[in-house]
Amino acid sequence: MDKVIELLINKKWLISTFEIEENAHYNPANYIYNIQIHKSKYILLIDTNIFSFIVNSFKQNTPKDIHREAIALIAFCQFAEINIDVSLPIYEYIRFNKEKQKEAFEKLELFFKIDDSPNNQSLIDYAIGKRNNYTINETKDVSDGTKKMIEWYNKYQNLVQWDSTYLIILKITELNLLENISNIKKFEIFMNWQHSEFRFSMIGSIYSIIMFSSIRTKGMMKYKPTATFEEKRNQIDNMTWDFYFMINYYERLKKKTLEEEILTATDDKVIKFMFKILVDVNNSGKIETLSKYLKKQDFEMIEIYKKFVKNKDGRKFKDGRFQDDYHREKLKKQLETCLL
């Protein structure tokens, strides 16, 4: 297990709002103590990349390092009694295309059987390269888990917050294309749009600040104006899923019980970069915390943010709803016409 922990420390996948040293995330004793003494329940949300590494590892005759590292995470979570939630990777994989349900649920069933391996040592040995396979729970009844997911898909057409997340990404993408205008001005336009046309999103605002700042990281803006229609659609969808993963984490934090502790794990460099900043701002409760990361020429965006969130006048989003029930759909169609 020491070698498994070493692998995970090197990957730096785990993120939480705990105010602890990063390496402390990989000490199973911390989790076991809180579970036994304080009755804590740990839930880990993983991204689509890590989910794919886990399920694909079972089919590999010659595993790659990434497959071993993904199974190291499973072994660690078993040992530390951390429950893994994979609902979001399944939603992303299907993308509301019912034709993909069968394949997605086959992957989900395999994940459940891996995650419930009766032989933790086989997972450890696989993770550290002592063997090229591991034991899964072949007899595990996974019907209840898949049934719940199927019922959800039959009932709903979309995820909560998905349309709003998608719309924010569309607007940021449109502004990114503007020429002969400063990034500070682009952010100001975005905040004005949130204020007058849409609604404020704390995470959306921070995401926009970083996008239009001097510290924007490679891969944040995936949209290519010269791409085909399908490529553009996929680029925007991928950005939306990145952003939604962040929002979903914070939504889960709001809804958790007193006993629950929510962690997340991602292999995506953009999400990891953004999460570090978001967690810091969340823990401090102050937008000014961004100044630790921004360069001086970007500080003005913090003041712009504060100016707009204080202004309650001239808004189309009031009392938790838009005055026009079709307003959001109109905004979406306008931006899609421009970008796609």
Residues 180 and 145 in one domain: no
pLDDT at 319 over 90: no
% of the chain exceeding 70 in pLDDT: 95
Final residue of a domain: which of 126, 155, 184?
A: 155
Domain stop point among 155, 173, 196? 155
The percent of residues in the chain predicted with pLDDT above 90, rounded, is 76
* Domain-located, residue 140: yes
Residues 321-335 have a mean pLDDT of 84
pLDDT tens digits, residue range 184-220? 999 999 999 999 999 999 999 999 999 999 999 999 9
Residue 42 counted as domain residue = yes
Which residue reads 């905004």 in tokens?
A: 331
Residue where one domain finishes, among candidates 155, 175, 204: 155
- Grade residue 48 by pLDDT with cuts at 50, 70 and 90: very high
Q: Is the pLDDT of residue 98 over 80?
A: no
Closest to 76 in 3D by CA, of 38, 40, 42, 36: 42
Residue 88 sits in the same domain as residue 111: yes
- Domain co-membership, 24 together with 105: yes
- List Cα–Cα distances, 20 to 24, 30, 54, 132, in angstroms: 6, 11, 27, 35
Residue among 53, 273, 240, 261 at smallest CA distance from 163:
240
Q: Rounded to whole angstroms, how far apart are CA atoms 5 and 71?
A: 12
Contact 212, 186 (CB under 8 A): yes
Distances (CA, A) of 12 to 8, 41, 99, 195, 212: 6, 22, 35, 37, 26
Question: Do 105 and 231 lie in a common domain?
Answer: no
Q: Is residue 263 part of a domain?
A: no
Quote the mean pLDDT of the chain.
92
Whether residues 188 and 123 fall in one domain: no
Number of domains in the chain: 2
- Quickly state the pLDDT bin for 312 (edges 50, 70, 90): confident
For residue 45, the enclosing domain spans 2-155
Locate 313 and state its tokens. Answer: 């006048």
**Where would I find the beta strands (DSSP E) of 16-128?**
41-46, 82-85
* pLDDT tens digits, one per residue of 224-264: 999 999 999 999 999 999 999 999 998 898 899 999 999 99
